[in-house]
C-alpha cells in the first residue's frame, strides 16, 4: 500500500537554538509521496543477535549506580537551580539569572538525572518513530562481558519504496563490538531509507561503528543514532556520507560514566544539487570524559550542507574535554555551506575547543597543479576523487567498497580504473 508523503519538521534540532533567520536550528525532512513500505535490511551478526539483552535494562543498571553516587553528593545551591525551579521573578530577584528556554531544560535535566528521560537520538523522536514503523521491530545485538563481537547491517531500498532499520546495540562490560552499517541504494526514482540505532556501552566496553552512505541521487536517507556510555567506555564512530539526494545524519551521545570517551570522524561529499545535514550532540556528564568530533568535507555543484555540532559540558563534568573541528572545501561557485559549532559550558574545570576552516583550493595548491598541466577545475576534481578514493580504500568490506566504486563512477568518469 502506498503511503502519503510526510514532512518531519524540526528534525535534528540543536539543543541551544540561535537566530531563526539563519535557518540552521533544525532541518525539515520530506518523505516522498506514494512510497511503499518494504523493509530491506540484512543483519549479519552471528551470535551477537540476542534478544535477551536489553538497552533499557542496561540503562536502568547504570541509573542505579548513578543514583547511589548522587545520594552522597552535597546539595546544590546555585542560582541557576533557583531560576529553573521557581518562577522567573525578573528584576524583582536580581541574583537569579533570567534563563533562556534551553538553559531551563538543561538545569531541569541536571536536577532529574534520569538517563532514560535524557536519552535522545541525533535526528530526533519523530524520525525515530517513523523508522521504527518501517522496520517493524528492533533487532538487539549484544556483546557478552569480556567477549568480542562483530556485526554488519545492510539497509537498502528500491525505487518507490521506503525501508528502515531499527537496531539496539548493547556492549557488556569490557566487551568489544565492531559494527558496520551500510546504507546503499541505486534506486532511480524517489525512495527513502534509513536506520535508527541505540547504543549502550557498559563499563570499559569498546564500540566501533562505521557507517557508509552510498545512495543514488533519487534517495532520501536518514541515519539516526543515540549513545549512552558508562564508566570507561569508549566509542568511535566513522560516518562516510557520499551519496543521496538528501541525507540527515544525527548522533547524540550521553557520556554519563566517568572517563568515557567518544571520537566521531565524519567524511562527506556533496555534488550536484545534493543536500547534507549533520547534527552532533555530545553531552559530557561524567568526570574526565573526552569527546573529539572531526568533520572533513567537499562540496561541489550547487550542493548544500549544514553541520550542527554541540559539545555540552554539563555541571559536574569536572576534568572533561570536548574538541570539535571541521574543514570544508568549497569546490564550486553556488555551494551553500552552513556550520555551527557550539560549546555549552556549565562547569569551569573543563576544556572546550572548536575550530572551523572553510575555504577553497589554495593558490599555492592551484599553482602546483598548474605546473603539472592541471586546470583549476581538474584540480578541484582531484579533491573529489581523493575523497572517494579514501572512502574506497578504507571501506570495511568488499560489498561496501563496491558501493563506493559504483557511486564514484557516476561522479567521476573512469573512477574504477583510477583506483584499480
Partner 1 sequence: MAKNRTEVADIDRSLYDFSYGEEGFERLDAGLTPDIVTEISQRKNEPRWMLDLRLKSLEIYHRMPNPTWGPGIEGLDMDNIVTYVKPNTEQKNDWDSVPDDIKDTFERLGIPEAERSYLAGVGAQYDSELVYHNMQDTAAKMGIVYSGIEEALHEPKWEAIIREKFMTLIPPTDHKFAALHGAVWSGGSFVYVPKGVKLDFPLQSYFRLNAKGAGQFEHTLIVVEDDADLHFIEGCSAPKYNVANLHAGAVELFVGKRAHLRYSTIENWSKNMYNLNTKRARCEEEGEIEWISGSFGSHVGYLYPMSVLAGRKSRSNFTGITFAGTGQNLDTGCKVVLGAPDTTATVETKSISKGGGISTFRSSIVATPAAEGAAASVSCQSLMLDDISRSDTIPAMDIRAKNVDIGHEATIGRIGDDKIFYLMSRGISEEEARTMIVNGFANPVSKELPLEYAVEMNNLIKLEMEGAIG
Of the candidates 3, 50, 65, 103, which one interacts with partner 1 according to CB under 8 A?
Answer: 103
What does the DSSP 8-state code read for residue 64? H
Beta strands in 159-272 (DSSP E): 161-171, 176-185, 191-201, 206-215, 219-229, 234-241, 246-255, 261-270
The site string for partner 1 over 274-313 (x = CB under 8 A, - otherwise) reads ---------------------------------------x
Kindly write down the DSSP assignment for every residue of 139-161, as one continuous string: EEEEE-TT-EEEEEEEEE--TTE
333 near partner 1, judged by CB under 8 A: yes
Residue with Cβ nearer partner 1 (347 or 397):
347
Closest of 192, 201, 145, 147 to residue 169, by C-alpha: 201
Query: To the nearest whole angstrom, how small is the minimum distance from the Cβ of residue 175 to partner 1?
Result: 34
Of 259 and 304, the one with the shorter C-beta distance to partner 1 is 304
- The verdict on 364 binding partner 1 (CB under 8 A) reads no
Site string for partner 1, 54-83 (x = CB under 8 A): ------------------------xxx---
By CB under 8 A, residue 273 contacts partner 1: no
Contact segment (CB under 8 A) with partner 1 among 34-42, 128-136, 228-236, 352-360 equals 352-360
Cα–Cα distance list, 69 to 65, 74, 108, 278 (Å): 6, 11, 19, 35
Shortest gap between Cβ of 281 and partner 1 (angstroms)? 13
Determine the Cα–Cα distance for residues 367 and 185; give it in Å rounded to an integer.
Answer: 39
Nearest approach, Cβ of residue 37 and partner 1 (Å): 36
Q: How far is the CB of 169 from partner 1 (least distance, A)?
A: 32
Query: Measured on CA atoms in the order 366, 368, 370, 375, is the torsion positive or negative?
Result: negative
Decide whether 15 or 396 has the Cβ nearer to partner 1.
15
96 interacts with partner 1 by CB under 8 A: yes
> Which residues make Cβ contacts (< 8 Å) with residue 200, sequence separation at least 6?
55, 58, 59, 62, 168, 169, 170, 171, 227, 228, 230
186, 221 contact by CB (below 8 A): no
How far apart are alpha carbons 206 and 288 in whole angstroms? 17
Q: Choose which of 3, 113, 189, 356 interacts with partner 1 (CB under 8 A).
A: 356
CB 27 within 8 A of CB 224: no
Among 71, 75, 91, 420, binds partner 1 (CB under 8 A): 91
Q: Which of 335, 392, 400, 404 binds partner 1 (CB under 8 A)?
A: 335
Does 345 help bind partner 1 (rule: CB under 8 A)? yes
Q: Contact between 355 and partner 1 (CB under 8 A)?
A: yes
Task: Report angle CA 359, 361, 362 to the nearest 5 degrees.
Answer: 90
Radius of gyration of the chain (CA): 22
51 or 357: CB nearest partner 1: 357
Closer residue to partner 1 in complex, CB, 57/355: 355
Least distance from partner 1 to the Cβ atom of residue 69, Å: 18
**b or e along 56-78 (b: 16 or more beta carbons within 10 Å of the residue's beta carbon)?**
eebbeebeeebeeeeeeeeeeee
16 binds partner 1 (CB under 8 A): yes
Size of the site for partner 1 (CB under 8 A): 62
- Residue 115 or 335: the one with the smaller Cβ distance to partner 1 is 335
**Which residues sit at the interface with partner 1, rule CB under 8 A?**
16-20, 22, 24-25, 78-80, 88-104, 313, 315, 318, 328, 330, 332-360
Amino acid at each position: 500500500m502506498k503511503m502519503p508523503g510526510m514532512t518531519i519538521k524540526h528534525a535534528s534540532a540543536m539543543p541551544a537554538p540561535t537566530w531563526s533567520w539563519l535557518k540552521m536550528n533544525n532541518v525539515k525532512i520530506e518523505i516522498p509521496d506514494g512510497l511503499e513500505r518494504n523493509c530491506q535490511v540484512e543483519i549479519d551478526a552471528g551470535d551477537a543477535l540476542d534478544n535477551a539483552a536489553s538497552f533499557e535494562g542496561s540503562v536502568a543498571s547504570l541509573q542505579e549506580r548513578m543514583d547511589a553516587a548522587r545520594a552522597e553528593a552535597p546539595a546544590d545551591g546555585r542560582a541557576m537551580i533557583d531560576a529553573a525551579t521557581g518562577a522567573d521573578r525578573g528584576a524583582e530577584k536580581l541574583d537569579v539569572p533570567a534563563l533562556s528556554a534551553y538553559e531551563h531544560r538543561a538545569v531541569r535535566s541536571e536536577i532529574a538525572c534520569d538517563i532514560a528521560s535524557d536519552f535522545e537520538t541525533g535526528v530526533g523522536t519523530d524520525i525515530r518513530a517513523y523508522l521504527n514503523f518501517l522496520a517493524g521491530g528492533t533487532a538487539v545485538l549484544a556483546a557478552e562481558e569480556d567477549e568480542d563481537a562483530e556485526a554488519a547491517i545492510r539497509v537498502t531500498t528500491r525505487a518507490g519504496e521506503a525501508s528502515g532499520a531499527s537496531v539496539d546495540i548493547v556492549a557488556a562490560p569490557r566487551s568489544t563490538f565492531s559494527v558496520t552499517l551500510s546504507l546503499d541504494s541505486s534506486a532511480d526514482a524517489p525512495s527513502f531509507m534509513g536506520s535508527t540505532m541505540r547504543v549502550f556501552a557498559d563499563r570499559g566496553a569498546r564500540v566501533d561503528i562505521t557507517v557508509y552512505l552510498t545512495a543514488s541521487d533519487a534517495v532520501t536517507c536518514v541515519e539516526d543514532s543515540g549513545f549512552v556510555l558508562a564508566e570507561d567506555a569508549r566509542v568511535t564512530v566513522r560516518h562516510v556520507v557520499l551519496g543521496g539526494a538528501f541525507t540527515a545524519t544525527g548522533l547524540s551521545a550521553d557520556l554519563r560514566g566517568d572517563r568515557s570517551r567518544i571520537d566521531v570522524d565524519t567524511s562527506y561529499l556533496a555534488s550536484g544539487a545534493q543536500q547534507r545535514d549533520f547534527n552532533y550532540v555530545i553531552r559530557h556528564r561524567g568526570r574526565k570524559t573526552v569527546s573529539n568530533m572531526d568533520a572533513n568535507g567537499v562540496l561541489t555543484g550547487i550542493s548544500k550542507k549544514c553541520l550542527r555540532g554541540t559539545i555540552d559540558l554539563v555541571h559536574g563534568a569536572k576534568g572533561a574535554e570536548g574538541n570539535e573541528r571541521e574543514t570544508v572545501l568549497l569546490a564550486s561557485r553556488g555551494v551553500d555551506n552552513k556550520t555551527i559549532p557550539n560549546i555549552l559550558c556549565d562547569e569551569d574545570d573543563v576544556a572546550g575547543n572548536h575550530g572551523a576552516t572553510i575555504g577553497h583550493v589554495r593558490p599555492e595548491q592551484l599553482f602546483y597543479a598548474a605546473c603539472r598541466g592541471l586546470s583549476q577545475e581538474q584540480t578541484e576534481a582531484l579533491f573529489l576523487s581523493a575523497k572517494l578514493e579514501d572512502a574506497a580504500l578504507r571501506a570495511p568490506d568488499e560489498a561496501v567498497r563496491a558501493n563506493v566504486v559504483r557511486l564514484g563512477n557516476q561522479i567521476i568518469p573512469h573512477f574504477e580504473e583510477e583506483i584499480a
